[in-house]
Amino acid sequence: MEDAGNPHGCEDASSQSQFSSNDKFQPSKLGTKEYWDHAYERELQSFYDSGDVGEIWFGEESMDRIITWLALQDIPKDAALLDIGTGNGYFLIELAKSGFTNLTGIDNSPPAVELAKAFAEKEEVMTLKLQVADILHPFPNLSQYEICIDKGTFDAISLSPDDPAEKLSLYRQALHSVLKDGGLFLITSCNWTKEELISHFNKGFEMLQELPTPKFQFGGKTGNSVTALVFKRK
């Protein structure tokens, strides 16, 4: 799942994301489907060999942050929730263990979905709906979700070598189509600042809340290592 020198599809936050108004990134292999297919093929084999499921995107702290926020909002446990770019399914499995019952995960990488299914079976979590799907071209049955969550997929798309601006626009449109009116979108990003995300999603969404994330210092300035925001579909 991860690239050892540049995990989660993140650019160098100290030089790119948090202190720059430039919303364009250099194209990267991390923005290609081929890279993630190969990465998940390796992780799938590792899982079958040793039971190691691989990394958690942005770490357990990021996952716990979202689960805690959902609990504090009294989100119904049967709320329809979509995990965009579910990867190894770790996050959905933890949501299921915390009581959520209507969970769907999509990923455009077939080996990622195979890994998620195998891991869910190992953890005896049999209620997840996991499917190969591209959020940029969602299936008709991907609709009417009350909550959508993205931890790194938007970042990876932004690094695509093939017209990333068009893909990011498609992402926003697709997200709007799969969320119910008034539905919530929780995004965690290491490539985009709060202001940049608000600007990108201002059409069709309103920002409700910024979730606290770790801070760092660089060149005498203070920034966040990741940005976590909650949007509401208008």
Q: For residue range 72-130, list pLDDT tens digits in order.
A: 998 999 999 999 999 999 999 999 999 999 999 999 999 999 999 999 999 999 999 99
CB half-sphere exposure, 5, CA atoms < 13 A: 2
Alpha helices (H) along 17-79? 33-50, 59-72
Q: In the 3-class helix/strand/coil scheme, how is 157-193 assigned residue by residue?
A: HHCCCCCHHHHHHHHHHHHHHHEEEEEEEEEEECCCC
The overall longest dimension of the chain from CA atoms, in Å, is 49
Token output for 96: 């299921």
Tell me the fold of 7-233: Rossmann fold (3.40.50)
| Residue 193, pLDDT score | 94
Helix (H, G, I), strand (E, B) or coil at 1: coil
Confirm if 140 and 82 have CB atoms less than 8 A apart: no
**What are the pLDDT digits (tens) for 135-187?**
999 888 888 999 999 999 999 999 999 889 999 999 999 999 999 999 999 99
Please enumerate in sequence order all residues whose Cβ is within 8 A of that of 47, keeping only pairs 6 or more positions apart, or say none: 53, 54, 88, 115, 118, 119
CA pair distance 130, 226, nearest whole angstrom? 27
